[in-house]
Structure 1
Amino acid sequence: MSETEKIRVGSRKSELALIQTRHVISLLKKIHPEKDFEIVTMSTLGDKVLDIPLPKIGEKSLFTKELESALTTGCVDFVVHSLKDLPTALPPEMAIGAVLTREDPRDALVLQKDHDKYLLETLPEGSVIGTSSLRRGAQLARKYPHLKVESIRGNLNTRLKKLDELGKYQGIILASAGLIRMGWTSRISKILDSEELLYAVGQGALAVECRELDEKIIELLKPLYDVQTALRVISERSFLKTLGGGCSAPVAVSTDLSRVKDNKYILKLKGAVWSLDGKDEIIETGDCEIDLKNTPRCAACPFNTSNENASCVRDIENLKRCDTCPNQVPSKKIKLDEIPVEVLKNDPHEHCPVALPIGVDFMGKCPYLEANMGKYSANGVIEEAELLKQCPFRKETKKGNLTEVTAGPSASNTFCGLVPHSDTPLESLKQAQDLGVRLAQSLLSKGAGEVMAKAQATIHGAAS
């Protein structure tokens, strides 16, 4: 790749995706000001299927398939993703060239203005919490049975508007990383510690996907590669993959990497599986000691962009900032779009006849439902609804059996898709991967497979 050759970067068209893509480009431009980058935007199936949840049965590729096709054909040179959108098994010849320093992976509670003095445990009996996540719904049902959990659909903007305008929800739960990157930290009522809610695998981390054998791009991305984040997410992704990644069941994790002395670190992983109602819980913790060089981390801070006055918020709850970044506030704040209340109230996708429980961190217009919208009446009834129950975007599996991601074999020289880094011994990356495998195997030995199979059977029963 010559210095003047244009580097094409694939991105979804959403505001958050573009913020993340521009951030990665800005970091690379600082290192290689002579290089020319072009953003190539495209809509994935996940963007077209907005406002209707689908079961999380190997459907992660709904946000990535079109982008990966562009990578395969050479239309783009790399793609920026939220790591939690990437399957634990990538398509053949694809790899994660770098993961950036992780934003806060925890979930955030966003409350209505007249409820902003409450906590989850102090909200009045029957308060409605909106979420589109199985893992959040199960944990809330188990720990806060006085609350009512209901599905809320739409992207970040739509969910916040529904909270503000409809009066249906007293609060919603979102990933804090998305709110932080969009400049909406003022909407966060409380960051939920992992003792309250474990988070999704890879949540808060940005991943740059490229062709596995494209050594020039992998070398280009190397300065953005955060080794500490890599070790944590490798353990998380191997945990999910061993359980049967992509299954429709509440699965969540938390990780911690702490230095004990010199180059010795302890990597801790907590993982859990729940029944849909949260009554059954199988939870386990594990750790391992890892050798790791002390490498600088702040280069990839989500707010350390081309703006020299940008902030590096590391802990929103306590307002702590990175010691090596300017102590300023983010300069740009994305405004919520104006959405008429009637549109929020009469969202036709709320009337999808495929009855599914709280399901997927996934939003968009359903192309199958859209094709039948001529038969949708103003009173919320969809004529010939029986035909729509055969939605082609919901994968069928045998009842009671887990469905595994079948995106293709993992590359032998990657770790759950992530390429190794020269500053980290391969043995350290392998130890992180093995930790996730051991923890998942421990959960499976305690009945996690049966719990997940029961959850999936329930979803299939509700959707058929």
Structure 2
Amino acid sequence: MQQLTIGTRGSVLALWQANHIKDCLQTQYPTLQVEIQIVKTKGDKILDVPLAKIGGKGLFTKELEELLLNGTIDLAVHSLKDVPVDFVEGLGLVAITKREDVRDSFLSFKYPSLESLPKGARVGTTSLRRTMQLNALRGDLDTQSLRGNVQTRLKRLKDGEFDAIILAQAGVNRLGLGEKVPYIVPLDFMIPAMGQAALGVECKMGSEAQLLLAFLNDSKATFETACERAFVRALNGGCQVPIGVNASLEEGVLKVRSILGLPDGTRILRECLEVQVKSVEDCERIGVQMAQSFIKQGAQEILQMAQNWEFQPE
């Protein structure tokens, strides 16, 4: 194979991710020609509506998957947290990259920390998961939907539309935002989304590209995200629901934290466990078991309430 075409969304962060994979490929295969093709997804086109209201599954992947199937592109690079847990027939994840910092982060031009925000401060986030955890800790804050790419969100923050915003620390690090925003504080209390801080590389299964891309896979990230994605799949949850789950593998021990609840933080389920694991299958089994525990505690009812909540007229 002499040439590969990478499909990606067109935001600065998505292009950083695609170019990172391009650089890895060209280092591994010096004679390989690698091109990048920008694709606009549904999630990129509809910016005036909260993500959960336009359907959480496949918002940032569907158009890319169509191009994979018809052969226009050879691989697609995604933020793994945006990738649905089920794939179109014939496609799949061929690699999950080493993770960046998995935490969410507080950003502000005026306030040094979440704790320093005054009552009623406006905090922007795209995520019901983040909204739930913010409201559980600081129910006095005014959490508001904030769509758009990172640059758009930062501009609205700088212009004073928000007192603070919440972004993934991985994106903050990858784009070097530490030099642009005076107050950036990782939020250790907040449980991330499944797959956060990893990149997912998708292609046609059985293709020549699949063999070329295998070297990108990070075994630690694969173990961790297998648990996280199994947890969400067992709950029948998507990318845009108030569910957080994070697995961390150290010396054969998988530590898992999970949370699920209503966006206003009034009803929340939490769990944390540590288990010895030896395989990806072990990790998936732990994710399913944790989800089953949540289901016994009323998780499905809570998720249905959260969905109906989000679709109420504003």
TM-score bucket of the superposed structures, by smaller chain: over 0.9
Relative contact order higher in (CA < 8 Å, ≥ 6 apart): 1
Partner SS, residue 265 of structure 2: coil
Q: Give the letter aligned to residue 107 of structure 2.
A: V
Alignment partner of 1:183 is 2:176: yes
2:24 maps to which residue?
Answer: 27
Taking only the aligned residue pairs, the percentage that are identical comes to: 38
Q: Which stretch of the first structure deviates more once superposed, 51-60 or 196-205?
A: 51-60
Paired residue for 2:201, among 205, 208, 212?
208
Partner SS, residue 461 of structure 1: coil
Question: How far 1:208 sits from its partner (Å)?
Answer: 0.5
The 1:455/1:430 distance shift into structure 2, 3 A limit, reads same
Quick one: distance in 2 between partners of 1:234 and 1:185? 31
Gaps of 5+ in 2: none
> How many residues align structurally?
312
TM-score normalised per structure 1: 0.65
Paired residue for 2:7, among 10, 28, 35?
10
2:51 maps to which residue?
Answer: 54
Paired residue for 1:272, among 256, 259, 283?
259
Question: How far 1:244 sits from its partner (Å)?
Answer: 1.0
Partner SS, residue 13 of structure 1: coil
Quick one: distance in 1 between partners of 2:54 and 2:151? 26
Quick one: distance in 2 between partners of 1:56 and 1:81? 21
Quick one: distance in 2 between partners of 1:98 and 1:138? 31
1:220 maps to which residue?
Answer: 212
Alignment partner of 1:430 is 2:281: yes
Alignment partner of 1:110 is 2:97: no
Say whether the 8 Å CA contact 2:248–2:254 is kept in structure 1. yes
4+ runs deviating over 4 angstroms:
none
TM-score normalised per structure 2: 0.94
Alignment partner of 1:150 is 2:137: no
The 1:458/1:146 distance shift into structure 2, 3 A limit, reads closer
2:167 maps to which residue?
Answer: 174
> In the TM superposition, what whole-angstrom CA distance separates every residue of 1:256-308 from its partner, at most 9, and x where no partner exists?
1111xxxxx001111111112101111112333123xxxxxxxxxxxxxxxxx
Question: How far 1:439 sits from its partner (Å)?
Answer: 0.4
Paired residue for 1:90, among 66, 74, 87?
87
> In the TM superposition, what whole-angstrom CA distance separates every residue of 1:231-263 from its partner, at most 9, and x where no partner exists?
11110011001111228641111221111xxxx
Q: Which stretch of the first structure deviates more once superposed, 10-19 or 100-109?
A: 10-19
Say whether the 8 Å CA contact 2:43–2:51 is kept in structure 1. no
Say whether the 8 Å CA contact 2:106–2:185 is kept in structure 1. yes
Question: How far 1:197 sits from its partner (Å)?
Answer: 0.9
Quick one: distance in 1 between partners of 2:96 and 2:239? 24
Quick one: distance in 2 between partners of 1:62 and 1:266? 34
1:67 maps to which residue?
Answer: 64
The 1:157/1:51 distance shift into structure 2, 3 A limit, reads farther
The 1:84/1:141 distance shift into structure 2, 3 A limit, reads same
Alignment partner of 1:258 is 2:250: yes
Partner SS, residue 227 of structure 2: helix
Question: How far 1:450 sits from its partner (Å)?
Answer: 1.1
Quick one: distance in 2 between partners of 1:168 and 1:242? 38
Q: Give the letter aligned to residue 228 of structure 1.
A: K
2:125 maps to which residue?
Answer: 131
Matches within 5 A, 1:274-289: 274-289=261-276
Gaps of 5+ in 1: 260-264, 292-427
Quick one: distance in 2 between partners of 1:288 and 1:255? 11
Say whether the 8 Å CA contact 2:247–2:257 is kept in structure 1. yes
Question: How far 1:80 sits from its partner (Å)?
Answer: 0.7
Greater CA radius of gyration, 1 or 2? 1
Question: How far 1:95 sits from its partner (Å)?
Answer: 0.7
Say whether the 8 Å CA contact 1:248–1:456 is kept in structure 2. no
Say whether the 8 Å CA contact 1:141–1:278 is kept in structure 2. yes
